[in-house]
Amino acid sequence: MARLHDDMMPLHFQIVSLAHHSWGAIQGLQQGSFSPPSFELDMDYASLQAVVATAREKLAELDAAEVESLAGNSMIFKIGKKEIPFTNEHFLLSFSLPNFYFHATTTYSILRMLGVPLGKMDYLGQMKIGV
């Protein structure tokens, strides 16, 4: 199991969390409820690729008006027996988006540690330049 530190979740959890804090977050906004992914997940490479592909496909199917219609609503983050209320905007901006970037960075770091030839531009992707 590839981890950066003994108290951190392994690579497969980081990747599942990326999908969970992207497409899963939108689903949470739509349903009014969001919970963390399972900690018991153990997926092979093909399964992880499928999780990412599904999240990307579902996000690509959304249009701006559909996402904008979720603004102003409320949702509950459920973790165990605890329930934390959020507005949809605050959930995305103060919880899910920071988690997405955390898990993306952690995934990148684990892959680098394992010798995958990634660089900063692989992480950043295509820049949107112009005026």
We report the CATH number of the domain holding residue 85 as: 1.20.120.450
Q: Is position 5 within any domain?
A: no
Q: Is position 76 within any domain?
A: yes
Q: Is position 2 within any domain?
A: no
Q: Is position 32 within any domain?
A: yes
Phi and psi at 79, nearest 5°, equal -130, 105
Residue-number span of the structural domain to which 95 is assigned: 11-124
Q: How many domains does the chain have?
A: 1
Q: Is position 130 within any domain?
A: no
Q: Is position 26 within any domain?
A: yes
* Global confidence as pTM: 0.87
Q: How confident is the model at residue 57 (pLDDT cuts 50, 70, 90)?
A: very high
The two structure tokens encoding residue 17: 């969390």
Q: Is position 3 within any domain?
A: no
Quick one: DSSP state of residue 96? I
Give me the pLDDT at residue 90, please: 96
Give me the pLDDT at residue 29, please: 96
Torsion (CA) 10, 43, 46, 57 in degrees, nearest 10? -80
Q: What is the pLDDT of residues 78-129, one digit of tens each?
A: 999 999 999 999 999 999 999 999 999 999 999 999 999 999 888 888 888 9
Q: Is position 1 within any domain?
A: no
Q: What is the pLDDT of residues 20-38, one digit of tens each?
A: 999 999 999 999 999 998 7
C-alpha distances (whole Å) from 123 to each of 13, 25, 49, 65, 104 are 18, 21, 17, 28, 8
